[in-house]
Structure 1
Amino acid sequence: MKTIIWTITLICICSASTFSQQLRVNESQRYLETNQGKPFLWIGDTAWELFHKLNREEAVEYLENRAAKGFSVIQAVVLAENDGLRTPNSYGDVPLIDLDPAQPNEAYFKHVDFIVNKAEELGLVIGMLPTWGDKIESANPGAGPEVFTIENAAIFGAFLGERYKNKPVVWILGGDRNVLNKQVYQIWNSMAGGLKKGDGGNHLMTFHPRGGSHSAYFFHNAEWLDFNMYQSGHGSKYINVYDYANYLMLLHPQKPFVDGEPAYEDIAIKFWKHMDFSKYSEKRVPTGVLDTDGLIENRSHFKDGFFSDYDIRVHAYWNFLSGACGYTYGNNAIWQMQKKGGEIAIPCLYDWRESMDRPGAFDMMHLREIMEERFYNLVPDQSFVYGITPKGENYIAAAGSTDKSFAMIYLAKGQPVKVVMNKLKGNVQASWFNPRNGELQQIGNFSSEGIKTFTPSSSGENNDWLLLLETK
């Protein structure tokens, strides 16, 4: 394990100068690449409160941890969700003077600069959200306040674009909110225009919507939307993420897509059912649910349970084998950078530092290992699987390479699978990839004829397997 982590860290650091050259959409319109033509695998982490909550020493600790695990994108918000306009950062600075987007506070942005520069040094791209969506009118108000107009959105966008025009950044508008009305639509368009004016069009741009939605519904034909993003959300296990992918692949013009917010590791399933958001911090749950550090002590209060590393893997592999060019991991404590004794947005099982090494984060390292040299050549192809594939927990996701040299089939519950072998040509070497530990076990060599049944060594929940078929 240590050798693998060291290798990925070295790759990330050596790649920093490449990422500084910016990203673009590949001519196939299926994935992202550097402007030198190297396919870019989006393995993201959700760190919404990074600029707002962590000091510089903590930010370095976090970013180094993520680089070591093979993450490539860090998604963070400039004007953060948790009262990000009025509650200052670790150095006592708020982002705007007099809550005015046309008057950014230089002291605050020097801290953002530090984090962006450190990310660049480590070979990480910042998926930068200019603002959380509660700073604009929406159907889901938050801490706010709502400060954006069509005019100042353009000014703020131009400020950010100019400041980070030569940095490894991808712009992500939206901030967990859908477009409420024409005025809001124009504000986002105005901000996008400002960003392009400031950075000269150097960076890719997308839109992060509310849970259960996707950017294409609002902006697919917008000139500034380079790739689509959807939020599959936190509502249930075995979310049909492939339905988003199937829909987006049929749109014209075709654009790459990413699941930018799937279910977070360690977050309570349907957490909103068990909380009172009219109250603040620890008062959002009854007395006795949290311990003296503000962490969850009584798990039974959250009657639907919690998402685990297994859920992270299921949604990740289903996404990639359904055509996504990227996947963003999330952990409930890390998105809010929860500290013991600190204010609480959604109650956590662990604090942010403990959560950096949760099992799901290591699973992303294994995901990168198997996908990095293959993802850009993958095309969804359910016809590899013989018979009807039900949706839900027994769904089997299959994809093949564009040159017919390999195929991948993901079994969320380790169920036997019948494979149509003549989809590949020549002799086929079959292997099991274990998404839980990254081990690759050879099964044997087979002819590309007829139908072959493959059965993993274990089955049931938390016993997922990836079948890798390669022609020799």
Structure 2
Amino acid sequence: MSLTLIRRLTALGIAACTLLMTGHPAVAQSLPRLKVSENRRFLVTADGAPFFWLGDTAWELFHRLNREEAERYLRNRAERRFTVIQAVALAELDGLGVPNPYGHTPLVDNDPTRPNEAYFAHVDWIVARANSLGMYVGLLPTWGDKWNKKWGVGPEIFTPENAEAYGRWLGQRYRNAGVIWIVGGDRPIESDAHRAIVAATARGLRAGDGGAHLITFHPNGGHGSAEWFHDADWLDVNMRQNGHAVEFTGRYDQTRVDYDRTPIKPVLDGEPAYEDHPVAFNAKQSGHTIAGDVRRPLYWNLFTGAFGHTYGHHSVWQMWTPERQPINNPLMPWHEAIDQPGAAQMQHARALLESRPFLTRVPDPSVIAETSIPTAMPGSGRYHFTATRDEAGTYAMVYAPVGRTFRVRMAAITGPKVVAWWFNPRTGQATRIGTFANTGERAFTPPDAGEMLDWVLVLDDAAKKYGPPGAPLR
């Protein structure tokens, strides 16, 4: 290590230590701390209350939006009951070379040991504003092309030494903010050097914030953090990027694979198919996704073991406007895209799961009775049905992506009488079907038989007297 780098690292550490006790004053804590639940499956607040991660990918938020625009975006997401905003400090789209709206780049001479205070003052403002609106920031210290230029703008600037120093500085600065650390940044681990840089960043963050915040890793498409770091003591949560395909088989079924790993760690999909995105990056063959294509992964992931979910829109992640170079043909400016239907429909899944006991939910495909043709039921591809239930059997839910009759094993519910409901994922409305004896199997046909419109069947132990699905749990 050069003498110059040693001096810079030392200076950075001294400067950051001035924030050690309180963190940066612009980003004081306004949200409860988060931790992993006792059963290691979910996140809860410091007092044990369930926390539903409903994220949005706003990767270019710090880099491209001014404060007026950021206010508009954050208010929109708060109104739609999002709880986590995922954004990148050193952004992908030439985040080192192109200044933010106020003319500032994040680093002096692209040196991770020399953060630009003016740039991070803008990050401070956005983090504090998101927190004040009740949302945590899933904060990526850097996009992955700054340590692995597999693709993207780069340049590569990180070593294990300066990555740890930069992580420590960030950790101390946001020690008292409502953040969740997301290391990585959509790049594969292809060498020991890559692994060392990521681990050093996490080590620095943990040293800087004193362990105040959870840490996860954002992998590249079709992969999960567990492939490289499952046993790492710094990895609190496994994040997948199941990616921009729309089929269950071969992509979203991998959430259950990570759910079943040991030691147990919470899992979620931090980047599924985005709304209005080219399907599997091939619009000429398959067109662009619609709201239904982002609802299906939402329920597939949640019902196969995810503790939360992240939504994304192809225009919003890049904060695209016609004045900017587009990435993969966005269909509309970001300020129009924030009102696309899929974004507003995400909150209905949150309301549904929060209307029943939250921390005892497990995936259970056996709720659905298979037929002699398994590709029809429980189905495959984009027509896969999936189920979840309470450990004690007080409720069960079946996600039906299409209007095909299916049978359920009523024994999934423990009580002698079962109340059945249809829950509409597009509107959040629940309709009571009736009360049935808890015997054998029973067939249910979604309200839109034969159509590609999704529904959730909710079955309750009648003795529990749960309210309508989606209503607050009494």
TM over 0.5: yes
Distance in 1 of aligned mates of 2:142 and 2:242 = 20
Are residues 1:314 and 2:296 paired?
yes
Shift in CA distance, 393/459, structure 1 to aligned 2, threshold 3 Å: farther
Q: Structure 2 residue aligned with 1:448, among 438, 442, 463?
A: 438
- Structure 1 residue 304 displacement after superposition: 1.7
Q: Structure 1 residue aligned with 2:154, among 119, 130, 144?
A: 144
- Structure 1 residue 460 displacement after superposition: 4.3
State whether residues 429 and 470 of structure 1, in contact with CA within 8 Å, keep that contact through their aligned partners in structure 2: yes
Shift in CA distance, 143/18, structure 1 to aligned 2, threshold 3 Å: closer
Alignment correspondent of 1:170: 180
Shift in CA distance, 408/241, structure 1 to aligned 2, threshold 3 Å: farther
Alignment correspondent of 1:458: 448
Alignment correspondent of 2:259: 249
Distance in 2 of aligned mates of 1:464 and 1:248 = 25
Alignment correspondent of 1:401: 390
Alignment correspondent of 1:416: 405
The answer to which of 307-316 and 236-245 deviates more is: 236-245
Identity %: 46
Q: What whole-Å deviation, never above 9, does each CA across 1:292-348 have from its counterpart, x for those lacking one?
A: xxxxxxxxx733201110011100001111010011000000000001222222221
What code does the residue aligned with 1:80 have?
A
Q: Structure 2 residue aligned with 1:220, among 230, 236, 241?
A: 230
Alignment correspondent of 1:344: 326
State whether residues 28 and 128 of structure 2, in contact with CA within 8 Å, keep that contact through their aligned partners in structure 1: no
- Structure 1 residue 245 displacement after superposition: 2.2
Q: What whole-Å deviation, never above 9, does each CA across 1:399-420 have from its counterpart, x for those lacking one?
A: 1101211000000112111011
Q: How does 1:175-254 map to 2 (within 5 A)?
A: 175-238=185-248, 240-254=250-264
Distance in 2 of aligned mates of 1:456 and 1:95 = 52
Shift in CA distance, 191/461, structure 1 to aligned 2, threshold 3 Å: farther
Q: TM-score, normalised by structure 1?
A: 0.88
Distance in 2 of aligned mates of 1:321 and 1:450 = 23
State whether residues 18 and 34 of structure 1, in contact with CA within 8 Å, keep that contact through their aligned partners in structure 2: no
State whether residues 170 and 204 of structure 1, in contact with CA within 8 Å, keep that contact through their aligned partners in structure 2: yes
What code does the residue aligned with 1:401 have?
D
Q: Structure 1 residue aligned with 2:87, among 76, 87, 100?
A: 76
State whether residues 377 and 402 of structure 1, in contact with CA within 8 Å, keep that contact through their aligned partners in structure 2: yes
Distance in 1 of aligned mates of 2:257 and 2:198 = 24
Are residues 1:366 and 2:377 paired?
no
Q: Structure 1 residue aligned with 2:140, among 116, 129, 151?
A: 129
Q: What whole-Å deviation, never above 9, does each CA across 1:170-203 have from its counterpart, x for those lacking one?
A: 0001100111100110011111110011100100
State whether residues 430 and 445 of structure 1, in contact with CA within 8 Å, keep that contact through their aligned partners in structure 2: yes
1:407 match: secondary structure: strand
2:359 match: secondary structure: helix
Q: How does 1:43-62 map to 2 (within 5 A)?
A: 43-62=54-73
Alignment correspondent of 1:295: none
Distance in 1 of aligned mates of 2:172 and 2:250 = 39
Distance in 2 of aligned mates of 1:31 and 1:19 = 22
What code does the residue aligned with 1:332 have?
H
Distance in 1 of aligned mates of 2:449 and 2:153 = 45
Structure 2: unaligned runs, 5 residues or longer? 1-26, 463-474
Are residues 1:386 and 2:396 paired?
no
Distance in 2 of aligned mates of 1:460 and 1:359 = 23
Q: CA RMSD in A?
A: 1.6
Are residues 1:331 and 2:313 paired?
yes
State whether residues 37 and 44 of structure 2, in contact with CA within 8 Å, keep that contact through their aligned partners in structure 1: yes
2:431 match: secondary structure: strand
Shift in CA distance, 237/395, structure 1 to aligned 2, threshold 3 Å: closer
Distance in 2 of aligned mates of 1:303 and 1:108 = 41
Distance in 2 of aligned mates of 1:262 and 1:459 = 27
Alignment correspondent of 1:286: none
What code does the residue aligned with 2:280 have?
K
Aligned residues: 428
State whether residues 363 and 388 of structure 2, in contact with CA within 8 Å, keep that contact through their aligned partners in structure 1: yes
Distance in 1 of aligned mates of 2:267 and 2:236 = 9
1:376 match: secondary structure: coil
Alignment correspondent of 1:88: 99
State whether residues 82 and 345 of structure 1, in contact with CA within 8 Å, keep that contact through their aligned partners in structure 2: no
Shift in CA distance, 428/177, structure 1 to aligned 2, threshold 3 Å: same
Q: What whole-Å deviation, never above 9, does each CA across 1:237-257 have from its counterpart, x for those lacking one?
A: 445554212211221110000
Are residues 1:30 and 2:20 paired?
no
- Structure 1 residue 215 displacement after superposition: 0.3
The answer to which of 356-365 and 393-402 deviates more is: 393-402
Structure 1: unaligned runs, 5 residues or longer? 1-15, 274-300
Q: What whole-Å deviation, never above 9, does each CA across 1:82-122 have from its counterpart, x for those lacking one?
A: 00000000000000000000000000000000000001100
Alignment correspondent of 2:460: 470
State whether residues 390 and 396 of structure 2, in contact with CA within 8 Å, keep that contact through their aligned partners in structure 1: yes
Moved over 2 A (4+): 16-21, 235-243, 372-377, 388-391, 459-462
Distance in 2 of aligned mates of 1:449 and 1:18 = 52
Distance in 2 of aligned mates of 1:382 and 1:393 = 16
Distance in 1 of aligned mates of 2:448 and 2:32 = 44
State whether residues 148 and 187 of structure 2, in contact with CA within 8 Å, keep that contact through their aligned partners in structure 1: no
- Structure 1 residue 440 displacement after superposition: 0.3
What code does the residue aligned with 1:160 have?
L
- Structure 1 residue 450 displacement after superposition: 1.1
Shift in CA distance, 454/17, structure 1 to aligned 2, threshold 3 Å: farther
Shift in CA distance, 461/316, structure 1 to aligned 2, threshold 3 Å: farther
State whether residues 242 and 252 of structure 2, in contact with CA within 8 Å, keep that contact through their aligned partners in structure 1: no
1:98 match: secondary structure: helix
Alignment correspondent of 1:278: none
2:153 match: secondary structure: coil
The answer to which of 73-82 and 422-431 deviates more is: 422-431
Q: What whole-Å deviation, never above 9, does each CA across 1:255-285 have from its counterpart, x for those lacking one?
A: 00010000000011132x5xxxxxxxxxxxx
State whether residues 223 and 241 of structure 2, in contact with CA within 8 Å, keep that contact through their aligned partners in structure 1: yes
- Structure 1 residue 17 displacement after superposition: 10
Q: TM-score, normalised by structure 2?
A: 0.88
Alignment correspondent of 2:15: none
